[in-house]
Structure 1
């Protein structure tokens, strides 16, 4: 499947690196804000041997509808900014291009827009696209269902310059139906990302921990989603939709 990548910051570069080394997908192009590196190739910048074009374009120098007609892809993966969805979303949806958004924070306005786009195409959004974090979310939900009155605290750790509470921590709080006051943030050094959910029982404690060792985890997560979106009809999906079949299939196997 052909992929177009939007965003070439730290996360975008890591995602491009993973796609370029995949045998199942080709990285056709990258769209970024800056004019720097325009018409060069990501594989040269990342020093990855690949037959993928991976050509870099600037948002400032394209007309999006013509660009998508001239540079066809099956999936767009977005690791850029909140506003980017308005640049490419309608044009991609009209062309039935699948959309995978890994933007940390969307307002209700953007969420509504994603829903509108999903009326024509397959759209996926997750504030954290790593498989491990979403497995943690699923497992935490199961434990919360078993013990609904348990005390829950969330600890999120990120690099020194990251501002605000992480979108992943907010997603955990929303999923477990706890207040944002129960989120504890740590900012230090170059921590890529660590999330811990602490369940405090009267006589025991359960801790679920996920830590991203490298930003390439975003890339492997995005490709996991892309593989699972192949056969899904139009609609708006999240990671729970992707993971549920795996849990239910395994449960039936163990019970049979």
Structure 2
């Protein structure tokens, strides 16, 4: 027996019936440092226990078992209850729910006074690094033209993507102005983002390509492990995962 073995971090998955929720459940089973203690979905689950994990409807969230971190990939109208639960119990929250209102973002900041909160539009660790590189390039090349070009599958309705807007915000932080955006919708592209800086005679491109959606779930699980060990506060993904970047 290994006396140095650590107790697994207890996860609550909110939004378990969605694509990301299903990936989180599947990938968490492969890790020894995590255990899913409850999974919550918008509607009543057809089975109460699936692969050893208790499943509940979101309306039952108030009776959640003890957990260390909640991982939320739901919808804006389901976000408030899970944030309130974490704040009330003093537990950390990792969320990738997009489309939040200004009031909901303000509520995240308020909750971060007492718990660790991570919110990101994209949980790819590569995109987290790309965002910092983009900010630095924008600061170094303030007079260059800048464009963010994103490509996704034909079923994606929002354009520009949330990740493209996130990268554009990094450009604005670096140089004080937003880039131009271009969006492509074709085939089954998981996600491609290019940030291009151009000047007469030269061009710099920073590119991230996703070929598998599991990268987002893996990033969220890694964030859950990290934020469980942090003091209260609101953390960006890059700040949390790569503090020395």
3-state DSSP class of the match of 1:22?
coil
More strand by proportion, 1 or 2?
Answer: 2
For structure 1, list consecutive stretches of 5 or more residues without a partner in the other structure: 44-52, 248-256
Distance in 2 of aligned mates of 1:244 and 1:219: 18
Tell me the equivalent position of 2:229: 231
- TM-superposed CA distance for 1:202, in Å, is 1.8
Structure holding more helix per residue: 1
- Which residue number corresponds to residue 50 of structure 1? none
**Structure 1 residue 231, shift from structure 2 partner:** 2.6
Residue 120, structure 1, aligned to residue 114, structure 2: yes
- State the alpha-carbon separation in 2 of the partners of residues 237 and 135 from structure 1: 15
- Checking the alignment, whether the CA contact within 8 Å between 1:18 and 1:220 is kept in structure 2 is yes
1:26 aligns with 2:21: no
Shift of 1:128: 0.9
What is the CA–CA distance in structure 1 between the aligned matches of 2:47 and 2:109, rounded to whole Å?
32
The equivalent of 1:58 in structure 2 is: 57
Structure 1 residue 79: deviation in Å?
Answer: 0.8
How far apart are 1:117 and its partner, in Å?
1.3
| TM-score, length basis structure 2 | 0.88
For residues 201 and 228 of structure 1, what CA distance do their matches in structure 2 show? Answer: 40
Instruction: Work out the number of aligned pairs and report it.
Output: 231
**Unaligned stretches of 5+ residues in structure 2:** 1-8
Give the C-alpha shift of residue 22 in structure 1: 1.1
The answer (yes or no) to whether the contact 1:6–1:78 under 8 Å persists in 2 is: yes
Quick check: 2:112–2:233 contact (8 Å CA) kept in 1?
Answer: yes
Following the alignment from structure 2 to structure 1, what is the Cα–Cα distance between the partners of residues 26 and 129? 23
Matched residue of 1:246: which SS? Answer: coil
**Map of 2:163 onto structure 1:** 168
Structure 1 length normalisation: TM-score? Answer: 0.85
